[in-house]
Structure 1
Amino acid sequence: MKPTVAPFPAARLRRTRQSPAIRGLVRQNTLAKEDLIWPVFVRAGEGIEEPVPSMPGVMRRSVDKVVVAAREAVDLGIPAICVFPYTGLDERTEDCAGAWDPDNHANRAIRAIKAAVPELAVMTDVALDTYNINGHDGFVVDGEIVNDATVEALVKMTLAQAEAGADIIGPSDMMDGRIEAMRTALEAAGHQNVMILSYAAKYASAFYGPFRDAVGASAALTGDKNTYQMDPANSDEALRLVERDLREGADMVMVKPGLPSLDICRRVKDTFGAPTFAYQVSGEYAMIQAAAQQGWIDGERVMLESLMAFKRAGCDGILTYFAPQVARLLAR
């Protein structure tokens, strides 16, 4: 589109900025509570709400407290919650068998949420990092993160989550071929209505540090994730990955991290038109919170502006730890 503008003074572009009413009339993008998915962390125990030091305002919760958070989400009009398990080193193994245990923290939380507030959509995380003694998203064999054996394990994890009642499966592992394998297994098991929101363009980013603290992966991780997550220097590769995942059966796709990848969000939406999400990851959240606590920025305004940037870039929805605060603000 080439804009047509009359010469000054016939065109005074400030005319459409002169009042809140006029600005509202010409506003191109809006942020709504329906755009939000709230990530929450579940751990063992009962009656526990444990602060994550590197993520001010974020808690690790026992299953009973996750249910309280789920009820809060429904009351606020947040449509979906995403469950991530926290596991200590004593809960991690090389075979990662806890990942598909029907009674692991995440699966117990899914069942409890769906029993308490069935109208709330529950999203999950599919990757081995929170169950792996090595902290990686896949099996480690002789120092290599192996692909095909990992995919087999991810399929078992997917089916366990679907059986628990998950509405949306979120593969964050970045293994090749996992979407087709998961979709085939879900169909065969009668879970044809379970959706896949693929982490299709996930970069090997330095913005994930606080999240790894939150799920207990920081102490476990050996090496880096550069052989399976994307090089932050690449953009065309992201489109190839998104196209592959859509062809394999993904219903929706995600770009991660969020704000550093707004150009990718725009390209994905313009190219494919598929439901496109971004994850405002832990490092983004922590930086905004830390600067706000120091009084260096207006935290509320920066939070809202950062989320609006995702909508402007073409995103249909956003995973954000700010979801409850934003929903309360939007309800005013």
Structure 2
Amino acid sequence: MFDNIDKTNISELGEFGLIDHLTQAVELTESSTVKGIGDDAAVLDFANKKTLISTDLLLEGIHFDLRYVPLKHLGYKAVQVNLSDIYAMNGMASQITFSIGLSSKFPLEAVEEIYEGALIACKKFNVDLIGGDTSASAQGLVISVTSIGYAEESEIAYRSGAKEGDLICVSGDLGGAYVGLQLLEREKQIYLENPNIQPDLEGKDYIIERQLKPEARKDVVQLLDALHVKPHAMIDVSDGLASEILHICKASNVGCKLYEDKIPIDPMTYETAREFGLDPTVCALSGGEDYELLFTVPQSDYDKIKGQLDISVIGYVTEAAAGCGMISKSGHVHEIKAQGWNAFNK
């Protein structure tokens, strides 16, 4: 990956020299950041708001494959998938810590690319990088991100807030990240068999980007606020629509009915899934990594959201005894089962 450039061995800098080098470009912009990098701990001040905190761990070979994931994209994605958890609480993200463990195969230039991607995400989502750690790793690349945010207590949306009769809504479209992953995996296998064959990804930019550079939906949280819509329950779609709606139903002690023909699937996702012999609906239900927001709202808010092109009403909340089902395009009811991605099945 870095064979054609001059490489700098990280041991030349040492741990603290590496931290100083990587963080020299960090700028603080959030008013809630009192003290960032440079002391034993960061200092934050959220006044009277509730603090939201979430942590994600990304492991080489489990969560990403460096044979087709560019390092800058990896740094970007590592940040935004973590910010997504804050937005899934109907909150605003304001700070992150970014920690990395790496083996001796990574030169300084590789680590710079990862951090560059992370800082691009910080700038886009207006969050401060306020700390982290670096360490040697004997097991490949490890990235750990902790995101911090805030919300008014009355505005926080838990998974447990769904009410019978609520409308079930989702932002954006689903299944694209999973189908993009299938395409990348296919091209990887072709390359491994014959390194002289160039990847054939032409015309598939959207689903490739859905996998390599997904976007957390801060804009949806802002939109709902502008529409004066307070979700009763909310979660981000990281493990597939089926898994996420079951999380909400279990936490809220309710059931649900989804309509297959209402699930938003991009035409490129649909067509490429068919090329792979996959059911596009199954990709949306079980694929994961879309990082859209799934939420419920009272029926009285329907008029506020019905004209929003980026929000789809895909079903409604029922009593728990009715179970969790999806009404297919042919009118049959199928039980919803969680078959999403599981890191421990790798």
Sort the TM-score into its range (normalised by shorter chain): under 0.3
Per the normalisation by structure 2, the TM-score is 0.22
Structure with more strand by fraction: 2
| Structure with the bigger percentage of helix | 1
